Amino acid sequence: MDADFELQISVMATYPIEIGPAGIGTARNIEAARVACRLTQRQLAERCTALGRPMTNNVVSRTERGRRRCDVDDLVAIANALGVSPLALLRPSSVDFSTAVSGGVAEGV
């Protein structure tokens, strides 16, 4: 049974999973929140790393462009680094991040 499971994983890994509308919306929200906080991708990655979720600016870039899936651990770290709720990053893109981060991360706190 373990051999079948291992084979299944290797076969699954060869087929990329497309990022759906919720993932694309989340990627856009991450970028919008980062820009509202006046952070570079490198600065966001450094904050995530400082929070215990090692990340590079390349990971942030690929996530924001929808080239990389954002798993739940990344989402929570990014939200914490931006000073917003993970739910805010999952909501439709009508969220105004400039008010969500005022007085917090946007001010460099």
Can you give the CATH number for the domain in which 77 is found?
1.10.260.40
- Residue 72 covered by a domain: yes
**Residue 75 to residues 1, 78, 93, 100, Cα–Cα distance (Å):** 33, 5, 16, 17
Q: Is residue 2 part of a domain?
A: no
Q: Is the pLDDT of residue 64 over 80?
A: yes
Number of domains in the chain: 1
Residue 79 and residue 85: Cα distance in Å, rounded? 6
Q: For residue 27, is it within any domain?
A: yes
For residues 88-106, average pLDDT: 66
Asked which of 24-28, 66-70, 94-98, 99-103 is least confident by mean pLDDT, the reply is: 99-103
Indicate if the pLDDT at residue 17 is higher than 60. Answer: yes
pLDDT score of 107 = 40
The yes-or-no verdict on residue 108 having pLDDT over 70 is no
More confident residue, 75 or 95: 75
- Tell me if 93 is assigned to some domain: yes
Nearest to 44 by CA among 58, 29, 32, 60: 60
H or E stretch covering 7: helix 2-13
Q: Which residues of 80-107 are buried (b: 16+ CB within 10 A; e: fewer)?
A: bbbbbeeebbbeeeebebeebbeeebbe
Classify residue 14: in a domain, yes or no.
no
By residue range, what is the domain housing residue 54? 20-107
Q: Is residue 4 part of a domain?
A: no
Residue 50 lies inside a defined structural domain of this protein: yes
Domain assignment of residue 103, yes or no: yes
